[in-house]
Chain A
Amino acid sequence: QVQLQQSGPGLVKPSQTLSLTCAVSGDSVSSKSATWNWIRQSPSRGLEWLGRTYYRSKWYNEYAVSVKSRATINPDTSKNQFSLHLKSVTPEDTAVYYCANLDSVWGQGTQVTVSS
């Protein structure tokens, strides 16, 4: 079955870039039926969708309005994974970050704290 394995730092300094990676096994990141998402969860905001990448003869990336100017989601077909980069972070970006195919599977989650 499909599994997602997240990696990345748990502590990021304010104004720096948060970078997380999600390795896909049991499916292809280039699948024409799947979408690959990033979601975060915090006590103040609940579950918040950040964006997604997917392949339908070409690559598409879509972002939530709240992070559109700061977020980039990139697929890496050579490693069958996708990543999230969120620049200019503030303490408000402190949350547990998840990657997910929202119809089938979530990653294990990464607690990211933004602090100096």
Chain B
Amino acid sequence: DQQVKQNSPSLSVQEGRISILNCDYTNSMFDYFLWYKKYPAEGPTFLISISSIKDKNEDGRFTVFLNKSAKHLSLHIVPSQPGDSAVYFCAASAGNTGKLIFGQGTTLQVKP
């Protein structure tokens, strides 16, 4: 049972444009959501997070939007840069358990 889903395996955008990565979840008990970025042969690197009591969190070029009624979150990267090319994972947790449930990942390619 895939509780966190990233339905787009890949996304390609032009440098300078907006990248929008999407994530859907099924468990209404999730109260904290995170986005990680991963390069090949490296571990995931934390990007940005959002609590379920908020609907938006912004950090520089990265903004995460949460729509609780739709059980959907998205990561916006503006403007996209070639160095943003990586695999992006969304993750969710319920309560203060420390257990993160990850989506399958979306590979972002930003073309110069």
A-B complex is real:
no
